[in-house]
Amino acid sequence: MLANTQFTKTIALDDYGIRNATVHYQLAPEELQQATLEKGQGVETRLGALAVNTGEFTGRSPKDRFIVKDEITKDKVWWSDINIPFDSRKFDSLYEKVTEYLSEKEVYVRDSYACADDDYKLNIRVINEYPWSNMFAYNMFLRPDEKELENFQEDWVIVNAPGFKADPAVDGTRQHNFAILNFEKKIALIGGTGYTGEIKKGIFSALNFILPVYKDTLPMHCSANVGEEDDTAIFFGLSGTGKTTLSADPSRKLIGDDEHGWTKENSVFNFEGGCYAKVINLSEENEPDIYRAIKPGAILENVILNKNGDVDFSDTSISQNTRVSYPIHHIDNIQNPSVGKNPKNIFFLTADAFGVLPPISKLTPGQAAYHFISGYTAKVAGTEAGINEPVPSFSACFGAPFMPLHPTKYAEMLSAKMKENNVTVWLVNTGWTGGPYGVGSRMKLKYTRAMIDAALRGDLEDVSFEQHPVFGLAMPVECNNVPAEVLNPRKTWKDKEAYDCKANNLARSFKENFEKFEKQANEEIMKGAPKAN
């Protein structure tokens, strides 16, 4: 067995059903990168970062994510096309196949943990087939020191075998890839896909069950940062809406970019030890912190390099979902430990490709709950096969694929915390202005930053607001460093009637999506709905 120069402990994997494997335990990132290069599984960029291709899957596969239905989950999980039940006997059989597949191979094992608050720490043992997958685990989970490793006892195990392909007819999967959570055995079993995001989202999904059910703590798909006066800000949003970009603010300390908990004691803590950012069209000018984090220790996924080893961030020939993972200490201005005090401002981020929603608006508690449960953004042409024009996309709680409980459970917890702590909630459109996708233009990042900065400083407390005629949102009529006409989306359209039509169409999409939640929604939440004509 191989141990790195920093850690001297070695382990056996027989207890997991993996026999006679060559175990590389707790290797340093540079060792894992070297192993990846030697195996021909990646290349080194000119800046020293590792670039890999994740293969067939360049993103998550939500239809192949399962939860084992057992005594723990059967009455608590919101079973749906998002939370798909999996038979426990089928799981046992598939697990045995995967561990047999990994036996007598080289495997890479890492002990780590999730949750930066010690009271909520979840110890994780990650067993990977590929060295770069284990390097991803180093980046994304929290890293114990040698003393913490001496008596390490895992709470959960991740078994990750990208090269193993299931037989759907026998194994109970939909196709050859799968990501399965077993809460009774505390195992995340991942196979048939090299996409590393399945590793981190497996534990995120587990925490989204564990924390509300057993710890009275709200898990959130959000980024967070903290200002000089210890004022915490939270940024909810789906992929591509700006969570990572907007929370990486040189004037504020980053808590984390994607996964957090809000405790009953009213602190906010990061689940992770790193960041996993989109790099499509990345530039140092627009996103300096992320750009500069791409250095030795970072992993780029599905990018194109030229002959000099430079990345072409505009090239999406492999995937629109090009990514980089890096440990959080690659960002200069971070909160250490990754814990913040009670939030003062919450931002719901949406990339509205229809150009309808205001660039910033203040929400009532009812509107906040309504928009949280809705979790709206829009898919634009080219992001998925068959999408040729903008399509509304709703993901409850801005993270439905990772939420095992009914969305109203998370919404009720958030609403209670917002009221208890007098938190201001803002809806921020990072999408289109002046018309829909293909006609208008993407909201300038400098304007979005200026609006968020104004909200955080309290500058918007003393300005006048006007109400959006369809969505009922309170829109500020002025904001420093932002042209006044940008603040009201209707004013940015040449064809006002076309805007009204598009706004009403989007409002109807909101209302149709929300029909499935109406029975669980109270009167206050329903008052937060748009008024479509």
Active site residues: 60, 201, 221, 239, 243-244, 258, 323
Phi, psi of 450 (to 5 degrees): -65, -40
Return the number of other C-beta atoms located less than 10 Å from residue 183's C-beta.
Answer: 21
- Report how far apart, in Å, the C-alpha atoms of 72 and of each of 75, 76, 77, 95, 407 are: 7, 7, 9, 19, 19
Q: What does the block give as tokens for 81?
A: 């096309």
Distance CA 278, CA 280 (A): 6
Place of tokens 């007598």: 104
Distance CA 306, CA 292 (A): 19
One-letter identity of residue 462:
D
476 Cα distance to chain centroid = 29
CA nearest 206: which of 94, 325, 61, 77?
77
Distance CA 278, CA 322 (A): 6
- Report how far apart, in Å, the C-alpha atoms of 234 and of each of 105, 117, 368, 410 are: 43, 17, 13, 15
How deeply is 177 buried, as exposed, middle or buried, from its count of CB atoms within 10 A (0-12, 13-18, 19+)? buried
Name 225's bridge partners. 233, 254
Return the number of other C-beta atoms located less than 10 Å from residue 173's C-beta.
Answer: 22
What percent of the residues of the chain are helix, what percent strand, and what percent coil, each to the nearest 5? 30, 25, 45
CA nearest 347: which of 223, 521, 239?
223
Q: At what angle do helices 197-214 and 131-140 cross, to 10 degrees?
A: 40
In DSSP notation, 296-343 reads TT-EEES-EE-TTS-EETT--SS-S--EEEEEGGGSSSB-SSSEE-SE
Half-sphere exposure of 132 (CA within 13 A, CB side): 29
